Each structure stands twice: as structure tokens, then as C-alpha cells.
Amino acid sequence: MRLLCVNGSPRQGGNSEALLREAMKGAQAEGARTVSVTLNSVQIRPCQGCEECKVAGTCRQKDGMRSLYSKIDRANGIILAAPVYMTHLSAQTKLFIDRLYSYITSDFKSRLAAGKRVVLITTQGEENAKTYAGAMRTLSTVFGWLGFKVTGKLVATALGPRGDAQKRKALLKRAFDLGRRLARPAAKGPAK
């Protein structure tokens, strides 16, 4: 099992990164090989809406997404962790998501190989998980459209400064368990 682990937070050492790291450890405990990337350190230009990917089968832009496309193609699954800023996903995550559009054909089907799986993690300061439910809904919809099976979701609430997630052992365990579940050969149904 090869997993691409994507950190959508611009904040180094933050709560999204901490939960991503735990999920990675869980996947590694099941024997998965993981590659991690922090989107803030990758030069990703916005989608230009040119639709050339529908003709050429790939995005025409020559930027950091080229290496990410290659990693996505080779991966059996993805673990993505991103913070919610201003009611939605961080800008870094949104750029990444928009550029996944090149995997969609002109008849709105996915070019990706079938059978890929994903775990989605969002972090937020707000206590009520429903307040920013749209962020997780967006991620679930996009990855579902791309053909991924969502094997787990975690909305981590009431997180503020760096280090908050590390103080919450039950939250860390949930992330670890989601990583393990993703790396198991027979992941079944969505986890909560």
C-alpha cells in the first residue's frame, strides 16, 4: 500500500500536521509506505479554466502539481489534512483541489485508476462540527467524484494554537486508527 499524505496547512507544526502525522503512523503500522507533502511548500498555480486537460489528458501548467500528479497516480490512497479558514478550506488546499480537475474527462468521469481510497481530516477552532460542515462535504464530494472510496473522516474541533491536538490523546488515537483502517486491504464502509 502506497499512500500520499497531504498537509493543507500553511502553519508548520500545527494541528492539521499533528493529526496527519498520527494517521501516517497508523498506516505505517499496517505496513503502508507513506510519502508526505506540505502544500504550502509546493508552487501551485490556480486552475486557469482553459479546459486543455480535457483534450490533452493532463494539465498544461508546468508547476509543482506535476510532481503531485505523479504521486497521486502511483498511490493506492491519500490522507489529506487541512484546516478550515474563514468557513472553508485553506487556500493551499483549495488550489490543490481545483487542480485535481485535470483528472476529470470531458464527459465528467475520472481518469484515475479505480480502487483508490482516502481519509479526510479537517481542523477548526469552532467547537460545533456542523458550523463548517461544508469544508468536509467539499472534500468528500471531490474525492468521490474522482473515484476514491472515502474510508474515514475526522472533523477535529475546538483547536487553536499549535500543540492543541497533541494534548488530546483520544483525537490522536482517532487519527491513528483512521490511518490503520485506510492501509488495511479490506477497508469497509466509512468510519466516523
Q: Give me the mean pLDDT over the 13-20 stretch.
A: 97
pLDDT digits (tens, 9 = 90+) for 162-182: 999 999 999 999 999 999 999
Asked if residues 28 and 34 have their Cβ atoms less than 8 Å apart, the reply is yes
Please enumerate in sequence order all residues whose Cβ is within 8 A of that of 69, keeping only pairs 6 or more positions apart, or say none.
58, 59, 102
Is pTM beyond 0.85? Reply is yes
Predicted pLDDT of residue 186: 60
pLDDT digits (tens, 9 = 90+) for 74-128: 999 999 999 999 999 999 999 999 999 999 999 999 999 999 999 999 999 999 9
Predicted pLDDT of residue 106: 93
pLDDT digits (tens, 9 = 90+) for 120-158: 999 999 999 999 999 999 999 999 999 999 999 999 999
Predicted pLDDT of residue 182: 98
* The architecture CATH gives domain 2-183: 3-Layer(aba) Sandwich (3.40)
pLDDT digits (tens, 9 = 90+) for 32-84: 999 999 999 999 999 999 999 999 999 999 999 999 999 999 999 999 999 99
Domain regions of the chain by residue span: 2-183
Predicted pLDDT of residue 1: 94
Q: Which of 139, 155, 156, 150 is nearest to 191 (CA)?
A: 150
Predicted pLDDT of residue 188: 46
Predicted pLDDT of residue 185: 82
